[in-house]
């Protein structure tokens, strides 16, 4: 029975430096893609939280307006709120 003889040099079938460099480039690309994906997901999550807060504030404001309209608009519901100055407003209560 004959023993098999290698007909190809072992160095010719290894990936060598080119293969190593290709794997490193792919690894860096994957890491950057994952980093970008996490940043985008976090941004979407924060936007959703802000949107929920704004919706809650708008619902509270609508409920306050509904209670004021229910009392004929003469109720004291907003009397304790501070007066905020506007640009060009000469109202002495604003200071």
Q: In this predicted model, what pLDDT tens digit does every residue of 14-46 receive, in sequence order?
A: 888 999 999 999 999 999 999 999 999 999 999
- Mean pLDDT is lowest, of 11-20, 55-64, 85-94, for 85-94
Distance separating alpha carbons of residues 59 and 83, to the nearest angstrom: 22
Highest-confidence segment of 10-14, 22-26, 43-47, 65-69: 22-26
For the record, the structure tokens of 24 come out as: 């490193």
Distance separating alpha carbons of residues 37 and 41, to the nearest angstrom: 6
Residue 83 has pLDDT above 60, yes or no: no
Question: Is residue 58 within 8 Å of 50, Cβ to Cβ?
Answer: no
């Amino acid at each position: 029975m004959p023993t098999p003889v290698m007909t190809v040099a072992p160095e010719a079938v290894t990936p060598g430096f080119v293969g190593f460099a290709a794997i490193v480039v792919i690894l860096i690309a994957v890491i950057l893609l994952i980093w970008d994906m996490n940043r985008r997901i976090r941004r979407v999550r924060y936007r959703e939280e802000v949107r929920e807060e704004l919706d809650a504030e708008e619902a509270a404001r609508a409920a306050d307006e509904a209670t004021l309209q229910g009392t004929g608009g003469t109720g004291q519901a907003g009397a304790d709120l501070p007066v905020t100055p506007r640009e060009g407003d000469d109202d002495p209560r604003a200071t």
